[in-house]
Amino acid sequence: MGSKRWMLQNGLGDLLATSGRDAKRFVDLFAGSGAVAIHMAQRFPIPVLAVDLQGYSAVLAGAIIERKTALSWEEVWASWNARASEIFESHRPPHLERISRREVFEFRDWCEGRTALPLTKAYGGHYFAPVQAVWLDALRSSVPAATPERTVAVACLLHAASKCAASPGHTAQPFQPTRSAKAFILQAWKKDITVIAKSSFAELAKMFAQEQGSAQTADANDAAEGIRKGDLVFLDPPYSGVHYSRFYHVLESIASGDPGPISGVGRYPDRAARPRSRYSLKCESQEALSDLLSKIAEKRARAILTFPEGECSNGLSGVIVRELARDHFGVREKTVESKFSTLGGTRDGSGKGRTARQNARELILSLTPK
């Protein structure tokens, strides 16, 4: 997943502004963090549909694009925080004093015994300090019952968790208490989940769409059946040969409220419980993209497609994507400098491994039905 926030400032935003002027609806079929869907919903008086295979994405986008007004958040937060505080105080998690291998494993033992706290049991002492994990459980289990307050509340927890997780880049695996990584664990575990959640709640509450849209969890190719003439479709398909659900499982668990059974260093759910995409399979990625482009072209909709220029681990490349697009559309092309995620960069202070993000060149293809 390339950094679309970066690209919105580097050419993509201008193209969306030009193309979106006469669109009847904007459809983002690989919404991810929701950055592009939110960008369009705030700037154009057209409904936005955000689609992604993972549920956390629908929460992040839906918190904003499904509302046409700002949210009065102060009283909602006060009531929510009071409910969560009662839950937190009843569990008395151990507080962080110093970081040592022994203390980290003691934290893990304490957290794994909290059967009433699913997020703490799964991730406490790994991605989060016990105090952070118990707060996540307390806040998640006491979110407001009514929407849109509920969706905004869960979205703010996703933001807070992503800022506090003791992991390099995405949450594929947590830092381990090695000599070089302990400082990074300490830095992450000192962050106050409640302060970050409150700040995020206040910020998200101010944001809303010009026209009410919707967010849904679905496969892009299935969702494409509902594309209509007049839609502007945005495509940012996966480029990794590893399923993205491996890197976002912590956020997915917070979105749902229950990780279910987990295992391994990364605290992963069972493979059967993780969304799988044809776009992350070398043997299927090209056929999946061709099928998707064919469906959109048949609906006579316009599209914008972004993809790294070079060869990618899922078998696709800029050359292949360009050729597939030309089979179905008239294509105008632009190449921009971007930053892309290495999906779990491993650099932990030792200078070894890869960084979480690297510079890259990315294609932006403007597609018009033939």
Q: Which two tokens stand for residue 209?
A: 């769409």
How far is Cα 271 from Cα 359, in angstroms, rounded to an integer? 31
Predicted confidence (pLDDT) per residue in 186-202, tens digit: 999 999 999 999 999 99
Question: What are the residue ranges spanned by the domains of the chain?
Answer: 4-69+212-238+277-369, 74-206
> If pLDDT is split at 50, 70 and 90, which confidence band does 167 have?
very high
Q: Is 5 a residue whose pLDDT tops 80?
A: no
Tell me the CA end-to-end span of the chain in Å, nearest whole number: 28
Residue 342's pLDDT is 53
- The burial of 351, by beta-carbon neighbours within 10 Å (0-12 exposed, 13-18 middle, 19 or more buried), is given as exposed
Q: Rg for the chain (alpha carbons), in Å? A: 21
List Cβ neighbours of 286 (8 Å cut-off, separation of 6 or more): 315, 316, 320, 324
From the number of C-beta atoms within 10 Å of its C-beta (0-12, 13-18, 19+), residue 350 rates as: exposed
Q: Which residues pair with 328 in a beta bridge?
A: none
Q: Is the pTM of this model over 0.85?
A: yes
149-173: average pLDDT: 91
pLDDT of residue 359: 63
pLDDT at residue number 208: 98
Encode pLDDT of 210-251 as tens digits.
999 999 999 999 999 999 999 999 999 999 888 887 889 999
From the candidate CATH numbers 3.40.50.150, 3.40.309.10, 2.60.40.10, 3.30.540.10, the one assigned to the domain spanning 4-69+212-238+277-369 = 3.40.50.150
pLDDT tens-digit readout, 131-142: 999 999 999 999
Residue 354 pLDDT > 50 = no
